[in-house]
């Protein structure tokens, strides 16, 4: 059965979302149709609107959500109608090199790099006003119903509060995992986090959980500092308060640079600063923010020759289908909090107001 429902369609770049009635086709073989109960707003969605992350239009954005399975296609075994689930923007096929390696998590079936905006079979499940609408990184959660591939959905605890655990679909897992999974922060270490949005605050929580002794939070918006301290930051630094480059400030604060740095913004300047502020020989710097399209970084290779490690992290390094149910279970056991990451709760039709709040740093 085709379902008619509301969705926030992005018809073209740099325009507001348009709430439209869309038709959502039934799931094909190995696909799952989900009723979305709650979805978060992430800067990566906004990057598509501004062109910093290139995707085809028209498109239904959204990738951080939780919902309930409405129906399943032929051959689906991991979920059934009525199950509570989280869609996964990094799938886990279990067969590609990254899925088979203990070192990797970026399944080759992902649609982040290729940006086709389609289901794995090359077609779409959304139509609006007679036009085909693209999917976004295999999830598309700014709609009352969506269709995902079975590789891109995880069944979670039936008691989990969907309006909170939706954040495990991206922001929390991405930040927390960058610290505990990708960087493998050790007890007693010193960390610097550039950018204190939801993902950056989750990195702060990850560093604290890993036992870091000093956690330096860096942001040009000092309004973010109180929450960063509440979640574990020991120092807060605003680059605007200094005449010298921020990496020099951090080196002075720590004596020789931090053990671990994290860039959680998606700007080439801060990526370079995060690399330069970590210890010259054994420092590790992790890129967590989505890099802007068509921009390049120029840096002194001596920064790496001396021994530093520069690495990236997608979805916090977690194998998605395996890890999301465990992270939800950990949340239910109160091993970490999500409430401080939720600043506003709005009805779906106010999605444009939600993005205005994101863009104004609120």
The set of catalytic residues is 42, 44, 47, 63, 170
Number of neighbouring beta carbons within 10 Å of residue 94: 13
Contact between 167 and 198 (Cβ < 8 Å):
yes
Report the C-alpha gap between 141 and 135 in whole angstroms.
9
What are the residues facing 127 on neighbouring strands?
23, 132
| Structure tokens, 241 | 């308060």
Angstrom distance (rounded) from CA 211 to CA 19 = 45
SS3 32: strand
Q: How many CB atoms lie within 10 A of CB 244?
A: 9
Structure tokens at 90: 């990094």
Burial class (CB in 10 A: 0-12, 13-18, 19+), 122: exposed
Three-class SS of residue 15?
coil
SS3 annotation, 301-342: CHHHHCCCEEEECCHHHCCHHHHHHHHHHHHHCCCCCCHHHC
């Amino acid at each position: 059965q085709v379902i008619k429902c509301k969705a926030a369609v992005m018809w073209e770049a740099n325009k507001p979302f348009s709430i439209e009635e869309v038709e959502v086709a039934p799931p094909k073989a190995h696909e799952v149709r989900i009723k979305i109960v709650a979805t978060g707003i992430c800067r990566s969605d906004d990057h598509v609107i501004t062109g910093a992350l290139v995707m085809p239009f028209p498109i239904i954005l959204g990738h951080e959500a939780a919902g309930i399975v409405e129906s399943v296609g032929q051959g689906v075994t991991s979920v059934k109608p009525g199950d509570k689930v989280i869609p996964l923007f990094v799938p886990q096929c279990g067969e590609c090199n990254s899925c088979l390696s203990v070192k990797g998590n970026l399944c080759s079936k992902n649609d982040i790099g290729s940006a086709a905006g389609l289901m794995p079979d090359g077609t779409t499940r959304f139509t609006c006003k007679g036009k085909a609408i693209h999917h976004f990184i295999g999830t598309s959660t700014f709609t009352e119903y969506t269709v995902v591939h079975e590789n891109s959905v995880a069944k979670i605890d039936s008691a989990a509060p969907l309006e909170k655990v939706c954040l495990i679909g991206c922001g929390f897992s991405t930040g927390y995992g960058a610290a505990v999974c990708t960087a493998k922060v050790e007890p007693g270490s010193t960390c610097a986090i550039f950018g204190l949005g939801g993902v950056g605050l989750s990195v702060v929580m990850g560093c604290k959980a890993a036992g870091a002794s000093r956690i330096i939070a860096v942001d040009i918006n000092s309004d973010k500092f109180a929450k960063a301290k509440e979640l574990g930051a020991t120092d807060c630094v605003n680059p605007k308060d200094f005449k010298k480059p921020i990496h020099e400030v951090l080196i002075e604060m720590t004596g020789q640079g931090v053990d671990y740095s994290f860039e959680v913004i998606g700007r080439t300047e801060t990526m370079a600063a995060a690399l330069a502020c970590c210890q010259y020989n054994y420092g590790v710097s992790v890129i967590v923010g989505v890099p802007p399209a068509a921009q390049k970084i120029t840096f002194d290779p001596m920064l790496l020759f001396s021994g530093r490690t520069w690495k990236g992290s997608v979805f916090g390094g977690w194998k998605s289908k395996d890890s999301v149910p465990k992270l939800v279970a950990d949340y239910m056991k109160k091993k970490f909090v999500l409430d401080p990451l939720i600043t506003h709760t709005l009805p779906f039709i106010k999605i444009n107001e939600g993005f205005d709040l994101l863009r104004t740093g609120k």
